[in-house]
Structure 1
Amino acid sequence: MKVQEIRELIKLVDQSTLDEFEYEMNGTKIKMKKNSLQPEGITVQQVIPKEALRQEEVQAAPIPQPAAAEKPAEEKKTETAENLHKITSPMVGTFYQSPSPETDAYVKAGSKVSKNSVVCIVEAMKLFNEIEAEVDGEIVEILVKDGQLVEYGQPLFLVKPE
């Protein structure tokens, strides 16, 4: 399933009166549940069947821990940038600035982007999902570090729209 399709599903569920939505196809399961207590209360979960995982992958996979000191700084930055567009993560995963360690980052602060420009990759369960800018403008700030774990809806970039 493509990132854009997941985004569309999220929007449809968010705008509907449904409280819960579940979709399963080819061993991939997506479950969305609204939480009426929080404005961004949709959660997306993708499950891989146990038989699809090899035992050594499960044992070798480290569990990334977000740095506790980074949270307040990120919140302050996003509060002061109300007129800027936030490019957010459409899923939980690992943020990468470039397609491979040997290549340059897709964008840097000051880079001009168009709606369809790829700005980063979010890797989730060995799938590398290209994230697009969504607006024409200039990258003002990159809010996460390369290799950092990101949450669904977490701001990744601030863009000054044109």
Structure 2
Amino acid sequence: MLKIQEIREIIKLIDHSSINEFSFEHEGSKIKMKKQLPEVETVVRTVATSPTLESVQAQPVQAQAPVVEAPKQDTVEAPTADTSHLHKITSPMVGTFYAASSPEAGNYVEVGSKVTKESVVCIVEAMKLFNEIEAEVKGEIVEILVQNGQLVEYGQPLFLVKPE
């Protein structure tokens, strides 16, 4: 069974993402969330595990979606050059992008940095788990496509790398 804090973290991640519907099933428990702006509807169902399965308890939970102002971001013009020869490092999950291991530390990479397949280029944090993202290609960082602290989606390009 998930703890209430874990459920709150999931709600927060879904609320800040472009996902409109989410389902999760684990050890007889089910969580299903649907976004309906400005609300997030959450239904938690617990399935009885006794030999006589007579009922399913449904506990709808209504949570008002918090009003969050999006941080002002500088407008980045789309590159006019052909980027088809460049490798895109993409996010393997929904989470928060961090360019460094801590606020005091320097960024893992900058534009112009040389990387190997094993080079850590950033961290994506999801539900208090910090996941190091590797370059997976040898080359040079040409462009950083996201800002530090920005929420990223699954498959969203993070970096453009000129392969060697």
Q: Normalising by the residue count of structure 2, what TM-score does the alignment of the two structures yield?
A: 0.55
Paired position in structure 1 for 2:148: 146
Over the residues paired in the alignment, what is the CA RMSD in angstroms? Answer: 3.4
**What corresponds to 2:90 in structure 1?**
88
Partner of 2:111: 109
Structure 2 spans left out of the alignment, 5+ residues: 1-23, 32-43, 45-62
Partner of 1:119: 121
* CA-CA distance at 1:77 after TM superposition: 3.4
Cα deviation, residue 63, structure 1: 5.7
Match of 1:99 in 2: 101
- Post-superposition shift, 1:133? 0.1
Tell me by how many angstroms 1:122 deviates.
Answer: 0.4
Cα separation, 2, equivalents of 1:90 and 1:120: 12
Q: Which is higher, the Rg of structure 1 or of structure 2?
A: 2
Q: Deviations over 1:57-108 (max 9, x none)?
A: x9xx9968476885x84xx339831110000001111100000000000000
Q: Which secondary structure does the structure 2 equivalent of 1:94 belong to?
A: strand
Q: Kindly indicate whether the alpha-carbon contact (under 8 Å) linking 1:65 and 1:149 is maintained by their aligned counterparts in 2.
A: no
* Aligned residue in 1 for 2:55: none
Moved over 4 A (4+): 22-25, 61-70
Q: 1:129 to 1:83 in 2, by over 3 A?
A: same
Q: What residue ranges of structure 1 are gaps of 5+ in the alignment?
A: 1-21, 30-48, 50-57
Partner of 1:128: 130
**Aligned partner letter, 2:127:** M
CA distance in 2 between counterparts of 1:99 and 1:62 reads 29
Which structure shows the higher helix fraction? 1
Which has more strand, going by share of residues?
Answer: 2
**What is the distance in 1 between the residues matched to 2:67 and 2:95?**
13
Identical aligned residues as a percent: 64
1: CA distance, partners of 2:122 / 2:80? 19
Query: Alignment partner of 2:79: what SS?
Result: helix
1:155 matched to which residue of 2?
157
Question: TM-score, normalising length from structure 1?
Answer: 0.56
